[in-house]
Amino acid sequence: MRKITRRVIVIIGGIIAGVLLIAAACQADQSSSTGSAPSPTPSPVLPSSGEIYYPGDTIPRYDVPTVTIIVPPSTTTPTTSSGPATTVSDGTYEVGTDMAAGTYKAHCPAWGYWARLKHNDGSVGDIIANNIVGKNGGSMTFTAKVGEYVEIRNCTFTKIP
The pLDDT tens digits for 67-100 are: 676 767 766 665 545 789 999 999 999 999 999 9
Amino acid letter for position 100: A
Q: Which of 150, 153, 155 is nearest to 6 (CA)?
A: 153
Residue 118 predicted with pLDDT over 90: yes
Establish if 82 belongs to a structural domain.
no
Q: Are residues 6 and 63 part of one domain?
A: yes
Q: What is the pLDDT of residue 131?
A: 93
91: enclosing H helix or E strand: strand 91-94
d(CA 59, CA 53): 7
Taking every pair of C-alpha atoms in the chain, what is the biggest distance, in angstroms?
A: 78
Q: Which of 159, 158, 156, 160 is nearest to 89 (CA)?
A: 156
Residue 154 DSSP one-character state: S
Please identify, among 10, 42, 71, the residue that sits at the C-terminal boundary of a domain. 71
Residues 101 and 150 in one domain: yes
Confidence of residue 134 (pLDDT cuts 50, 70, 90): confident
Write out pLDDT tens, residues 21-75.
Answer: 787 777 766 655 555 555 666 555 555 555 555 666 666 555 555 667 676 776 6
Question: Do the domain assignments include residue 93?
Answer: yes
CB atoms within 10 A of CB 159: 17
**More confident of the two residues 1 and 41:** 41
